[in-house]
A = this chain, B = another copy of it.
Amino acid sequence: MTATIVTIGDEILIGQITDSNSGFIAKSLDLIGIRTNEMISIGDDRQQILDTFAQLQDKTDLVIITGGLGPTKDDITKKTFCDYFDDKLIINDDVLSHISEMFEKIFKMPVSQVNKDQALVPSKATVLKNRFGSAPGMWIKKGNTVFISLPGVPYEMKGIMEHEIIPKLIREYDRPFIIHKTILTYGQGESTIAERIADWEDSLPEFVKLAYLPSPGRVRLRLSARGNDKELLEQTVDEKTASLTQIISDIIVGYDDGETLEMMVGKLLEKQKQSISTAESCTGGKIAQVLTSIPGSSAYFKGSIVSYSKEVKIDVLGVDQKTIEKYSVVSGEVAAEMALAAQSILKTSYAIGVTGNAGPSTDDTDEPVGVVFIALAMPDNTVRTEKFNFGQPREKVLDRAVNKSLEMLREEILKKGR
């Protein structure tokens, strides 16, 4: 069973909005064994919509369309829909009473004609209830293809996918199994890994695919197996993961995708009843923000002092002015003093101190753009300090500094835990 996802909206084609709906839909379909073979974004244009539908007709089992619905856009999309299916618009009473209720009870204002018109749907459509908004989803089959139209507002689309479409697909269609396994690695590049595991990669059976997903500082390796024999798929993926682990155990830091570095670090800290704080200069609070993106992080994350200016480094953290004068504000010595200060002021077992030049310009230091010093204060009050050159541009420097800090932290906690 294959699907194509179509997004309608001029705002996407001029780059004003990033389409995150397609990714959510693809992920939901993938989990139930439906393969997305293409994603297409087109404009709010009648002819382009008709052409796209015609081109997909009978070539794919499922076309899921988002966007183009909503009080000011209904006109073109719904009429075009009707024309394509040779249908007419009729009022759906369930949708009408849902809209009236929303306006009366939640918005506490009268329903306008524009909103009442949102209850107009093609007569052949199965209506999919929108719990979080007024425009309903619509499901129409033509030939061998099911066309599903959804509103573009993300949480409305998600609600209809979760509560209506996925259950209906599971009920009504036979699907193959898809098993994914993701292996997280740190410290080596895509090409180095590729060379190390070349023989193993060649040994993969036809129904198992390997993908490299690189991002600054880390590479995820994803195995995907697809077929009708669930047991065989699971067994093969397990075996192949085990043999891969033997080859590159030195760089594997975890499995499965949901696990991010900040989650792993959080679990370790919680398990060992340790705590963490940060003193950040160039990263501007990003390490703290990443650590606290995890629900429940207050169990181990205590706080952070972002010292973007020299004055805050000296006055609040208590970095020695002489250290700054002697080594400059971007130096391992300053990073170490920052880490120790955070550890002592915020009373934590570990503390990260970061100072560097994220660019585009360098201020009052001799170090080039991209140079970052990361210091990690340890429970025994020793400090591990490292110097990196993360290159350019600014966002890459910041991302890599955050990653490296967490990686160093993870390494050290694991050492102590032994």
Contact = CB atoms under 8 A, between A and B. Distances in A.
Contacts of A20: 18
A394 interface: yes
A347 B191 contact: no
A179 interface: no
Interface stretch (A41-49, A79-87, A168-176): A41-49
A392 interface: yes
A173 to B, nearest CB: 18
Contact of A392 (B12, B132, B222): B132
Interface string A248-292: 000000000100000000000000000000101001111111011
Given A22-B41, A26-B13, A189-B71, A346 B316 contact: yes
A303 interface: yes
A23 B12 contact: yes
Interface stretch (A88-96, A355-363, A377-385): A355-363
Nearest to A213: B11
A302 interface: yes
Interface residues of A, number: 106
Interface in A1-19: 10-19
Interface in A113-141: 113-115, 131-132
Interface in A366-393: 389, 391-393
Interface in A302-342: 302-309, 311-312, 315-316
B308 A303 contact: yes
Contact of A48 (B23, B37, B301, B396): B37
Given A155-B393, A191-B112, A316-B346, A284 B293 contact: yes
Contacts of A303: 305-309, 312, 316
A284 B289 CA distance: 5
Contacts of A230: none
Contact of A37 (B13, B315, B316, B396): B13
A164 interface: no
A152 B308 CA distance: 32
A361 B70 contact: no
Given A30-B14, A71-B191, A295 B361 contact: yes
Interface in A173-202: 180, 189-192, 194-195
A212 B74 CA distance: 12
B298 A392 contact: no
27 contacts: A10-B224, A11-B213, A13-B26, A16-B222, A18-B18, A19-B39, A38-B40, A39-B40, A70-B214, A71-B194, A72-B190, A112-B191, A115-B191, A132-B391, A132-B392, A153-B214, A284-B292, A285-B288, A285-B289, A286-B289, A288-B308, A292-B308, A296-B361, A303-B305, A303-B308, A304-B305, A305-B316
Interface of A: 10-20, 22-28, 30, 35-44, 48, 70-73, 106-107, 112-115, 131-132, 153, 155, 158-159, 180, 189-192, 194-195, 209, 211-214, 222, 224, 257, 278, 280, 283-289, 291-293, 295-298, 301-309, 311-312, 315-316, 345-347, 358-361, 363, 389, 391-396, 398
Closest 4 CB pairs of A and B: A284-B292, A15-B27, A285-B285, A285-B288
